Structure 1
Amino acid sequence: MRRLLAWPAAAAAPDWNDLLGRFAAADRAALEQALFARPAADAAAWTLTLSPSGGTTGPLQLRGEPALDPDGQPQWHCLALASALTTPAPAEEPATVLAPAAAAPAVEADPQRLSVVTRLAGAAARQELELLYQPQLDVAGGSVRAVEALLRWHHPQLGQVAPRAFVPWAEECGLIIELGRWVLQQACRQARRWRDLGVLQVPIAVNVSAVQLQAPDFVAQVEQALTAAGVPAQALELELTETTLLQESEAVRQNLAACRRLGVHIALDDFGTGQTNLARLHRLPLDKLKLDPSFIRNLCIDRGAQAIVRSMVALGHQLGLAVVAEGVEQAQQLVLLDEARCDAYQGHHATPALSADALTRQVQQTHA
């Protein structure tokens, strides 16, 4: 909870209903049941004990009494929550971190983060989400080998919100499951459209997080998206990062293996920036390595970067994997990648991420 909230102890805390929206669905349901499922007439004090995973000397107790809103429903505001989370209370006096609504001002701490998280729920239903597409091109011949789907969020008030500003928080509060399901469905539908047009009959890659991969129904989500769109499993590629591998669990391994058995391609994104164990890399059901842009950025001026890229390409090939260089911006970088026998590349040198219609027109003009 401390990591999720990241609020200074001196700051006023937000409305409790907004706070609930930042938790994963299961945790939110448990808290809502504990806080709001009591009859309105029950004004007795209650205590809810949470056992932290680490960093405190004992369980955190939330204690308070319900206050009623104009409709007779219990309503809570969070009071001094950050202080209670960062400073464990003495064992003989549990920390009182909840108080009736009338006792706490409705002042938000860190309003930008909170507004992003609370408005993200339901963004897909409100048609605020969009997928852009960036092709991965063959280094030697220039043909399209795959297309990566990139999520964008356009909010009426917030404007265009960068993925780095909402994806980490979506993972923390569980909304990444909703977003990920939408991305899978849209990517598969676009693959169907391109096949119907006779263009881009290549895999569409979507990014998946550790939270998604640990979901019990993740494989079912993949199968449903493929079946609904009427495309083969080979039309989909799942991209996971090295950070995801560091959180690898039995559920992640089983889900990846099940997707691979379906025929879905698996790619390791941002390779070279994490701490992937090579023995684990060998055991993973991978089809592709994607080299992080940080290695490509200095490729033309740094012989060390050139040696590293050659080594990573050779390692990928020895493991039977295709290797893709991300972040290619210059023609000379492409020449060096060709010399290193890199298979494919992705970046603004070829094209930035485009809408589906724009990429379709570009491909049709290229092959006209």
Structure 2
Amino acid sequence: MAGGARVESIEALRAFRTAWIKFGEAVTLALQDAESEMQRTLVWLETEAPTYWAGQIRKRQEAVSRAKEALRQKQMYKDFSGRTPSAVDEQKALALAMKRLEEAEEKLAAVKKYARRLAREIDLYKGSVQRLATSAMSDIPLAASRIDRMVATLEQYVALAPAGEAPAAEAAGAGAAESEVGPRLSPWCRLRRSTPRPDVRAAAARAALPATDWKIAIVGPAHREALAYLPLEKQPPQPSQWMVLNAAAITAASVYFERLPAQFPDDSGWYVGPADDSEPHELWCISIESLLAARPDLRPVLELPVGVLVVMDASGVAAVLDARAEDLWPAALYKVTGARMGDAAATVPQASSAGAGGNASAPGQTEAQ
């Protein structure tokens, strides 16, 4: 790499991720509230308001008819003296009734006019905020997922690095944090939220595993040895048992295996899904035998007990979480890689001295050199 990243606090990344997610949720909620309010207003203008004013027009037309009839009656008949009585009150009542009728007709016309105008304005508003809505719904969760992967990588690095090389901020806060709250949870535990509900897994249709190359790497010798070092009781599934597979996991660059309590007869408890941002796919119920026939290297993974979550990518096993969401993989892998590095370092002086002088040096001479 041309340059390194200066990371002084992994907690700052976590805090930023939390704030980022809250911002996305606030934006989404605000957009949904605004659209909901506009839709309620539009529905009112298109249904309730026209119905109300149409009813008012009918009532006021009847009032006008009654006022006209009262005026006609007053003008038609004469009193006992033979004179036509004054119809001023009836004329005022008719004028008021006609004015109220005109008002109702204007209101109905205005409702129809502004219903059409509001519908156009809503369309314009949706177009103007579409980019923001897309960012809140997809870009922000995608960025949060990238931050999760960054945090996971940094934590693995911190766990593997010698004590003297750990970042200063992590070294300062690690002891206090672990003594107060116990082992730090791995960010990979978020994947447990992606696992389908028990009833959804139980409803998965049984299918044959397609002959397709997986993108995740083969579990190599070093990783198999590290899996054996894990302080977990092995629970090998029977070949006749079944597991649930998300179809997207086959072509995903990163995959997770989670073993849960059995939900149906002959259920091994294993669920396999994409650990990246792949689109949701249908669920298949496949046999353990068919998976091991296609990927026999996964046998050590499938032997892990209930409560375990394993993340795999193009480099092989990336994380192994126990039931407490603690990542056991860095320590197990370090036992293998660290031991091999130590063995190689121990053999270098002997090989060098043998090549230089042709004879093996005495122990005291080797230390002196």
Decide: shared fold, TM above 0.5: no
| Higher relative contact order (Cα pairs below 8 Å, separated by 6+ residues) | 2
Question: Which structure dedicates a bigger proportion of its chain to strand?
Answer: 1
| TM-score, reference length from structure 2 | 0.26
| TM-score, reference length from structure 1 | 0.26
